[in-house]
Structure formats: structure tokens, C-alpha cells
Amino acid sequence: MKTFGLDELLAPLTQDEFFKSVWPEKPLFIPAVDGKLKELFEIPQLQNLEALVAARHSKVRACLPDFDDEYSSIHVEPKDALKVYDNNMTLVFDNMQLQNATIANALRQIRSELGLPMGTEENNLCKARSIAYATPAGCGTRLHFDANVNFIVQLHGSKSWKLVANTSVKNPTERYTASSFEMSAALEKQCHDMLIDEVPDDTEEILMEPGCVLMVPRGYWHETTTSEESLSLNFTFSQPSWADIFTKSMQEHLLQNADWRELADGLESLDEKRKALAVSKFEDLVKKLASEFSTISGKYLLNESGFLNE
Ligand SMILES: [Fe+2]
């Protein structure tokens, strides 16, 4: 079974050094090293864009040129992918792990070595996925930050990256694109300062060439441009927070009790009486839970929800 993991992705940096001084908050650029990630570079469908499109059975996202942001995209059939690419649209190949076993194995191994919590299959808080990006020359992505962490391997061509630390929001749970004027209510509550709308002038440029690896932490601002065609592969992981772990675990715990499984009847009723009754019922449930709470341990909750097996 062909695979590789965090050791190969980070080389020559060791996992010890990575966990001690980089993960999870600092960005990391690793210049190309001869022979590194051989298993990945030998995958036939990653040899060039034509091979990647030929191996594709599901739709490809094509980024609309109006906004330079991958979330402004349309889905196209693989047979039309090269046509839209020739019209200067970046192609995004989601879920690459479903179309190649080496990528799937590596993704699983990297997630496990990062120690990212997944919980049960249904919970799958980590949502590990691999995404390939084919970017024509003269394109790019405008300044944004993501709620997940990305490990990027440059396969062919090159791409310039500018990274800027985020001083407006720590550990964001939502993605945001500069100047999009669309911010989720959740992100608005998390920001403690105004978000920037452009990269500061003195920001250094990182040139990703074949074999280079880049880790962009969750929340770190980044924008990209290409002066030639670029093909890269991402390993992307959501960042399950303690709040996620707690709420998932608590839900597992509460659902063992028929009173908590009861329909939240009348909570948004137009009848004020029914609504007041519902609020009072919830109040009672919460008070009862609060009184029991000191007997609930973290370990118990983790075991209930499958994050721990002890
Ligand atoms: Fe991004």
C-alpha cells in the first residue's frame, strides 16, 4: 500500500520540531528537497492538468473571474473543465482522496499523526479532505482567511503567496474574504478588532515551486497570484474546538434522557402562552442539568462521544 505521512510532508523538519515550535498557530514554508514526496509525485493523474481532468468522474469547481475567490464558483462537468480553464478560470478538484488511494492513505495518516479529533464516523468533526487547484497564469485568490488548516504541496509551475498574521480575530470558526462585506454573525462576535482589507506593503512574498510545502494555519490571512500556470494539492483539516467537543459530547449525554429528547414544542410559537411554557420547561431542564453537572467528568463525556476509548 503506497502511502506517506507527516514525516515525509515536513522533511527535513522533524515532527518533534513541528509540534514544539510551529503547530497549530504558525505558518511554515518548506523549500523543495530532491526526491521528497516521491509517492505523491509519481501518481499518474497528478502529472499534468490533462491527466487530472481525464481521471475525474465528478464535477469540478470553476472559480468565477469576477471576485477571485474560490467560493464564487460554478460546478462544471470534467469534459468542460479544460475549456473554462482556457478562459482563465481556476479549477478546484474537491475530494481528491476519493479518486486516488495514495492520497486517501496519506490524508488518513497525516490526520492521525496531527492527532486531530474526529469522534465517531457520523460526527467526523475533522473533515479531512484533499483538494487540487489548477490555476492559469495571471490569476489568483484575493486576500482571505480560512477556518481550517491547509498543507499545500506545489506539484507543477509556481504560485506566489503572501501571508499575514491575523490580529483581529483569534481562532476564527468561519472563513472570511477581504472586501466581501459578507460576514457571518458568528465571526462578527469573534472579532475584537477591524479586519484588514489589503496586505500590508512590507509583506514578504513566498514563491511556491514544485516540491515546496506550505502550511497555512487556521485564521492566517493569505492571498495568491500566478505568473505561470500552477498545479497544487492541498491536505485540508477542519479544526475541532473544545466547544465542538463539548457540545457533541453533551448532546450524546443528553440524548440518553427522554426529557431532553422531547420535542422543543412551542418555543417559537406565535401563541405567547405556549411560548412561555416552552421557555419555562427549558429553564427547568437546564437547572436540573446544572445541579447534576458537578458529577459529570470530561473523561466521561469524551468516552460517551467516542473521542476516547478507556
Ligand atoms: Fe485559503
Q: What mean pLDDT, rounded, does the chain reach?
A: 94
**70 CA to middle of ligand 1, Å?**
8
Percent of the chain scoring above 90 in pLDDT: 85
**24 CA to middle of ligand 1, Å?**
16
**248 CA to middle of ligand 1, Å?**
27
- Reply yes or no on whether the pLDDT at 49 is more than 80: yes
pTM of the model: 0.93
> Which whole number is the average pLDDT over 118-142?
88
Percent of the chain scoring above 70 in pLDDT: 97
Q: What is the CATH number of domain 6-240?
A: 2.60.120.650
**115 CA to middle of ligand 1, Å?**
22
Lowest mean pLDDT among 10-19, 90-99, 113-122, 275-284: 113-122
Domain positions in the chain:
6-240, 243-304
> Which whole number is the average pLDDT over 196-221?
95
**222 CA to middle of ligand 1, Å?**
7
> Which whole number is the average pLDDT over 237-249?
95
- Closest by alpha carbon to 299, among 290, 289, 309, 291? 309
**86 CA to middle of ligand 1, Å?**
23
CA-based torsion, 206, 60, 235, 244: positive or negative: positive
**2 CA to middle of ligand 1, Å?**
28
pLDDT digit string, tens, across residues 55-101: 999 999 999 876 666 667 899 999 999 999 999 999 999 999 999 99
What's residue 67's pLDDT?
Answer: 62
What's residue 71's pLDDT?
Answer: 67
Comparison of pLDDT for 124 and 252, the residue scoring more: 252
Comparison of pLDDT for 46 and 125, the residue scoring more: 46
What's residue 81's pLDDT?
Answer: 96
Say if CB 90 and CB 135 are below 8 A apart. yes
- Reply yes or no on whether the pLDDT at 25 is more than 70: yes
CA-CA distances (angstroms) from residue 126 to 110, 222, 241? 12, 22, 10
- Reply yes or no on whether the pLDDT at 119 is more than 80: no
**221 CA to middle of ligand 1, Å?**
8
Alpha helices, DSSP H only, in the chain?
6-10, 15-21, 38-41, 49-54, 78-86, 101-114, 185-190, 242-254, 258-261, 272-292, 298-304
**16 CA to middle of ligand 1, Å?**
26
| Cβ-based burial of 271 (10 A; exposed 0-12, middle 13-18, buried ≥19) | exposed
Going across the sheet that includes 129-135, the strands are 28-30, 213-216, 149-157, 230-237, 129-135, 91-93, 60-63, 73-76
Comparison of pLDDT for 127 and 179, the residue scoring more: 127
Q: Which three cell numbers stand for residue 14?
A: 522533524
- Closest by alpha carbon to 140, among 218, 221, 228? 228
**144 CA to middle of ligand 1, Å?**
6
**119 CA to middle of ligand 1, Å?**
25
Angle CA 294–296–298, to nearest 5: 115
Angle CA 299–302–308, to nearest 5: 95
Omega within 30 of 0 (cis) for the link into 136: no
> Which whole number is the average pLDDT over 100-116?
96
What's residue 70's pLDDT?
Answer: 66
**147 CA to middle of ligand 1, Å?**
9
**249 CA to middle of ligand 1, Å?**
30
Decide: helix, strand or coil at residue 274: helix
Distance, CA of 156 to CA of 134 (rounded, Å): 9
In SS3 terms, 164-232 reads as ECCCCCCCCCCCEECCCCCCCHHHHHHCCCCCCCCCCCCCCEEEECCCCEEEECCCCEEEEECCCCEEE
Band the pLDDT of 111: cuts 50, 70, 90: very high
